[in-house]
Amino acid sequence: AWERVRRRLRAELGEDVFSSWFGRLELAGIVEGVAYLTVPTRFLKSWLEAHYAERLRVNCIAELPAPNGVLLSVRPVSREAAAPRVEAALRARPVAAASTIAEPGKPAGANPAQPCENDPVDACGTALDKRMSFQSFVVGKSNQLAFAAAERIAGAPAGQSPYNPLYLHAGVGLGKTHLLQAIAQEARRQGKRVAYFTADRFMYGFVAALKSQTALAFKEKLRGIDLLIVDDVQFIQGKSIQQEFGHTINALLDAGKQIVVAGDRLAGELEALDERIRSRLGGGLVVEVGELDEALRVKILASRMEALQGAHPNFQVSPDVVAYVARVVTTNGRDLDGAANRLLAHATLSGQLVTLETAEAAIRDLVRTREPRRVKIEDIQKLVATRYNVSRADILSERRTAAVVKPRQIAMYLSKALTPRSLPEIGRRFGGRDHTTVLHAVRKIEKAISEDRSLHEEVDLLKRMLQE
Ligand code: ADP
Ligand code: MG
């Protein structure tokens, strides 16, 4: 059946496109009607998601027993070797590998992320980025607690964890991944056995274990480690995968192993996860990483600039440009990275010094006057109901009259656009609907907006009202 999917894609897109983008796409397995597909690089993953998501989905649904769509993830560097390497890694305590330590002479940001290919533990987890170390982490009021907890956990002898589990939560770009990777690298340097997973790599590992029918539950494979780190836990989806995740967490905690998890919201608000896991995650040390204040932003940006200058000696930026950028880019570390890269691109392309004016132009679209407010699904439902003269209960109900269907679909669309909730979560919040229904609504409204100017304006207005 997978061959048929490939044939269809090849026929639809032509040999060239097919082999450039789909040649290395593989089916890892199908669980609960979701096809888990893998590609070898992060770049391929984002490219396929940005340009071919719908085509992939449609073809997989047509040919595979996968009515619930597809999920793409990046597979480990060497897939064939992965399984035996995992076992080997978990048996042998890896010696502190110099390759996982940030080299002092090479400051963060100087070179692109490199997977630590020589490190066997990565075969079962996610590659680490050497730039994300404790040394390169700038500490300020909003993150000092998280930093201190992370450092203590990384430094504590195996089996004597000071806080367990540690749950870090924060909005995007505030340093969660940086801290988790720093913990992983420091702990590993001290000879601890560390498994670091992003949610999608965890799901891949689970599906691959199922497929290889080694029948070894994931938690068995992980039994030999000292420290399990899971990033972006809010993306773990699929009932049996969540169950497995829960078993893994419970088994490791019961065995006294250290667990560190990061998510984009409080553990109790991880609707997709089992109640017991939520309470276990929420029952340890819970630390929020707060927004970056201006002083912190200046320091982060300055250190980023310094790193870039290490690789581009001609790239000069005056302190007042750094101060200006840090003042106006208020959102998060990711946007500060983006700003630094744009300044560099600008300087290299124009061959000119970066002035305040050119800086302003280069980063204009990263500047937001105010953080948009966190929008609640309930508020969306209420506002849309009022606007269209129906009740919120109508929106949640099964009624399918046009007078109710349209506002319902608009409310679902707005929920997807304005909140970080996943499609299944939104479905649940709309009277227990299926995520495919939500997806259908989102697509439908997107299309309608692109064709109907007045609807576009109307939906924009609703958006602004919700964000103010
Ligand atoms: P998150 O995982 O919370 O979305 P990341 O850890 O990926 O955020 O951070 C985004 C970018 O900002 C990364 O390049 C990271 O190194 C940088 N960053 C965030 N906080 C800090 C900090 N306190 N010191 C240095 N860099 C930071
Ligand atoms: Mg992250």
What number of CA atoms fall less than 13 Å from residue 150's CA on the CB side? 32
Percentages helix, strand, coil for the chain, rounded to the nearest 5? Answer: 60, 10, 35
Is 100 labelled as part of a ligand binding site? no
203 and 71 Cβ atoms separated by less than 8 Å: yes
- For residue 353, the model assigns a pLDDT of 84
Closest ligand by atom to 332 CA: 1
Beta-sheet strand order (sheet of 70-74): 26-31, 34-39, 70-74
pLDDT for 394 equals 94
From 172, 178, 232, mutation site for ligand 1 pocket: most ligand atoms within 8 A of C-beta: 178
pLDDT of residue 373: 63
Dist CA 388 CA 391 (whole Å): 9
Give the largest CA-CA distance in the chain.
67
382 is known to lie in a ligand binding site: no
Q: Which bound ligand lies closest to the C-alpha atom of 173?
A: 1
Complex ipTM: 0.99
On whether the CB atoms of residues 374 and 380 are closer than 8 A, the answer is no
Cα distance between residue 272 and residue 238, in whole Å: 9
The pLDDT of residue 416: 92
Q: Which atom of ligand 1 is nearest to 108's Cα? A: 16
Task: Give the residue whose CA is nearest to atom 25 of ligand 1.
Answer: 137
Closest listed ligand to the CA of 293 = 1
Beta carbons of 123 and 222 less than 8 angstroms apart:
no
| H helix or E strand, kind and range, residue 258 | strand 258-263
Shortest-distance atom of ligand 1 to CA 171: 3
Torsion sign, CA atoms 11, 14, 15, 20 = negative
Cα–Cα distance measured from residue 454 to residue 449, given in angstroms and rounded to the nearest whole number: 8
**Which pLDDT belongs to residue 77?**
59
pLDDT at 124: 53
Residue 300 Cβ < 6 Å to ligand 1 = yes
Question: Does the Cβ of 173 fall within 6 Å of ligand 1?
Answer: yes
175 is known to lie in a ligand binding site: yes
For 2-38, give one letter per residue: b (16+ CB within 10 A) or e.
eeebbebbeeebeeeebeebbeebebbbbbeebbbbb
Instruction: Return the pLDDT at 371.
Output: 52
The pLDDT value given to residue 372: 57
Q: Is 339 in the pocket of ligand 1 (CB under 6 A)?
A: no
Domain 377-467 coded CATH 3.40.50.720: no
Regarding the beta carbon of 152 and ligand 1, being less than 6 Å apart is answered: no
Class of domain 2-74: alpha beta
Domain ranges of the chain: 2-74, 81-288, 294-366, 377-467
3-state secondary structure at position 439: helix
290 is in an annotated binding site: no
| Among the bound ligands, the one closest to the CA of 179 | 1
Overall pTM surpassing 0.90 (yes/no): no
| Alpha carbon nearest to ligand 1 atom 17, residue | 333
Atom of ligand 1 nearest to the CA of 140: 23
Contacts of 20 (CB under 8 A, 6+ apart): none
Q: Average pLDDT of each block of 10 consecutive residues along the chain (468 residues)?
A: 93 86 88 84 81 88 86 66 36 31 32 33 64 95 96 92 94 95 95 90 80 64 88 85 86 92 90 85 94 95 91 87 92 92 86 86 74 80 90 94 95 93 92 93 91 87 81
Superfamily covering domain 81-288: P-loop containing nucleotide triphosphate hydrolases (3.40.50.300)
**Ligand 1 binding pocket includes 130 (Cβ within 6 Å):** no
CATH topology of domain 294-366: Helicase, Ruva Protein; domain 3 (1.10.8)
